[in-house]
Amino acid sequence: MKSFFPTFIAAFLGVIAAVALGFFILIMIGVSGMSQKETVSKGSVLRLNLEDFIPEKTDNVQNESGIFSMQTKALGLNRILDLIEIAAKDDNIKGILLENNSVSYGQATILSLMEGLKEFKKSKKFIYSYAHSHSQSSYFLSSVADSMFLNPQGGVDLRGFGTTVPFFKNMLDKVGVEFNIFYAGNFKSATEPFRLNEMSEFNKIQTREFLSDMKNIMVDNISKNRKKLTPAKLDAIMSVYDGRTAKKALENGLVDALFYEDELDDFLVKKLALKEGKKIKYVKLSKYNRTADSEEKDSDNKIAIVHAEGEIIYGTNEPGVISEKKYVEMLAKIRKDKNIKAVVLRVNSPGGNAFSSDLIWRELEQIKKAGKPVIASFGDYAASGGYYIACGADKIVSQPNTLTGSIGVFMMFPNATKLLNDKIGINFDTIKTHEFAAGFSPFHDLSEKEKALLQESTLEIYDLFIDRVSKGRKLSVDSTKIIAQGRVWTGRKAKEIGLVDELGDLDDAVALAAKQAKIDSYSTSEYPYIKEDIFQEIMQQIMMGNQEEDASTKFSMTGKEKKYLEQFNQYRSIIRCKEPQARLPYIFDFF
């Protein structure tokens, strides 16, 4: 018995030491793997699967928890375009194979990717696409290919754009919850699901108009990519859903051939002039990201690209969202950095908290006062609060199919008295020293004076929004009020009415920033800074090894699931909001 405890302790320490040693060896294996430079074989084909969510900036997304999480690096749009450009000059890359059945990002992102692929084609290298079955947006993107191949049992889901909006008022009435709603702008439809049972006429007008314009932009681009498909023919195909089977898609010229995957391989073997028995050397985007280096040289003259993506939320430091807590400090550092000569604000946001939006807007104004040009570049969305933060920019560059504008404000306040009193049997009594001391509570009906105060606050913020836009866009207040009203526009329409200066992508905005700053030679720096989790990188290197898994943009949740989660979070944020909001009513899906 005397020897038990020393033996036990020695054994216990031995186990700990063995585990620690094993863990250390694993880490060293991971570090070794990270330090080894991967290479791409000659004659490789870059395999692009762009189905999942693509952030603007690499890894600017909300991370999943879990110490051994296999969440992989989410390549940003800018990095993907950079890799496509590098591949065009890479002698080891012979061409690109696009493999998309569906895509889960916005229409402006599709245009940006399409332009990058068009630039790639100037290298005289091929681009082919293959799908088991195309969603509408996948077909839109893949139409840039030299030839399009489809599984014989597939189809092309080309049928135009539509939207379905859920309305909750009847349900809320049944459970005894009423929302006191205050808004400014006839087209500000964010609150409609909580106060109506169907879309208002104003909302129907704006939605029908921007969906039609989005459809026209898609059709025009597909027609340019596939010359035999005129806009009239594409409209006719969509009207009768005439791409729904592979046979019909081929007959109508939507695709060029029907291939099973082994037949696709045979085609590519011939294209690459490979000897019999030789396999095609595919390289996934995730691997290419680890091998390819940007050629951009460092310079004393820098242009800061500030990615403002996600909802605008007060007081958070989370990645993938915009907050005054994170962005005001970041923008102040940029303003004080003597090497930064200009700022490009890349906006991809449906809006959010009005207070946070104004603080970010002001810091951008401070940058302009410091003599640094500010150019705004719009992605899929630059609406409401997203437009607010950008409206003072020296110039605004938008994609033609960006959803923008939505200059309006709303506030919602729940009244749960019926639910609590009648349904559950909970009553509240109040003693107060002043009229509003216990006011603005979901446990009591709002008085008429309280409602008037909240409507007044909403209108004050709307007037401030109008003023910011009028001065930033150099428009009269009256003309701004006409095009505001919470109305959503496409980037193409926004340019016609003065909310946008030029149509183009991020590269166009950067070039414009350099011109405004009067600099010929420069390098770019991207913000916000995303802190890398070295431990997670090592664990991924150990667990993934040299697998050919295309982890470039994959998460444990799919892109569609992320879209649905975003939609849920939108409604939840609207319900929970305590402050005036400047946001879109929902995220539109263009699958």
Which domains, from first to last, does the chain contain?
44-159+241-294+551-556 (3.90.226.10), 302-521+562-583 (3.90.226.10)
The length of the chain in residues reads 591
Question: Strand 409-415 vs strand 257-258: parallel, antiparallel, or unpaired?
Answer: unpaired
Cα 471 to Cα 176, 391, 392, 479, distances in angstroms: 44, 9, 7, 12
Residues 267-301 pLDDT 10s: 999 999 998 889 999 999 999 999 887 666 778 99
Give me the mean pLDDT over the 162-167 stretch. Answer: 92
Which is more confident, 20 or 499? 499
**Consecutive H or E run containing 212:** helix 201-225
Arithmetic mean of pLDDT over the chain: 87
pLDDT of residue 569 exceeding 90, the answer is no
For 316-339, how does the pLDDT look when each residue is reduced to its tens digit (9 = 90+)? 999 999 999 999 999 999 999 999
List pLDDT tens digits, range 116-158.
Answer: 999 999 999 999 999 999 999 999 999 999 999 999 999 999 9
pLDDT at 509: 98
Report the pLDDT value the prediction gives residue 73, as an integer from 0 to 100: 75
pLDDT for the residue 297: 72
Chain segment 368-427, per-residue pLDDT in tens: 999 999 999 999 999 999 999 999 999 999 999 999 999 999 999 899 999 999 989 999
Q: What is the pLDDT of residue 566?
A: 56
E strands, 233-285, where? Answer: 257-258, 282-284
pLDDT at 69 over 60: no
Pick the more confident residue, 589 or 209.
209
Give the model's pLDDT for residue 125.
Answer: 98
Q: Which of 80-84, 440-444, 463-467 shows the lowest per-residue confidence on average (mean pLDDT)?
A: 440-444
- The pLDDT of 449-473, averaged and rounded, is 96
Burial grade of 49 (CB within 10 A; 0-12, 13-18, 19 or more) = middle
pLDDT for residue 14? 55
Smallest CA-to-CA distance from 463 within 391, 392, 404, 408 is with 408
**Residue 68: pLDDT above 50?**
no
Q: Could you tell me if 494 and 398 are in contact, meaning their C-beta atoms sit under 8 angstroms apart?
A: yes
CB-CB neighbours of 419 under 10 Å: 18
Of 57, 73, 94, 188, which residue is the catalytic one?
188
pLDDT, tens digit (0-9, with 9 covering 90-100), for 168-204? 999 999 999 999 999 999 998 989 999 999 999 999 9
Residue 65 pLDDT > 60: no
278 counts as catalytic: no
Q: Tokens in use for 99?
A: 């493999």
Determine how β-strand 340-349 pairs with β-strand 351-353: unpaired
Catalytic residue among 286, 384, 406, 470: 384
**CA 559/CA 557 separation, integer angstroms:** 7
Peptide linkage before 528 cis (omega within 30 of 0): yes
Give pLDDT tens digits for 499-558: 999 999 999 999 999 999 999 999 999 999 877 654 444 444 444 444 444 434 444 455
Phi then psi for residue 334, to 5 deg, are -65, -40
The predicted model gives 305-315 an average pLDDT of 96
Q: Is pLDDT above 60 for 357?
A: yes
Angle at Cα 252 formed by Cα 248 and Cα 254, nearest 5°? Answer: 95
| DSSP category for residue 527 | E
pLDDT band at 457 (very low <50, low <70, confident <90, very high): very high
Which residues fall within 8 angstroms of residue 386, CB to CB, at 6 or more apart? 308, 312, 347, 348, 349, 350, 351, 404
In degrees rounded to 5, what are phi and psi of residue 285? -65, -35
Instruction: State yes or no: is 326 an active-site residue.
Output: no
What integer pLDDT is reported at residue 271 of this predicted model? Answer: 95
| Token pair listed for 385 | 């609060």
Res. 28: pLDDT tops 60? no
- Position 520 scores a pLDDT of 93
- The model's pLDDT over 334-356, given as tens digits with 9 standing for 90+, comes to 999 999 999 999 999 999 999 99
Which of these, 574, 507, 523, 513, lies nearest to 82 by C-alpha position?
Answer: 507
Query: Mind listing the pLDDT tens digit for each residue in 70-99?
Result: 456 789 999 999 999 999 999 999 999 999
CA distance 224 to 233: 13
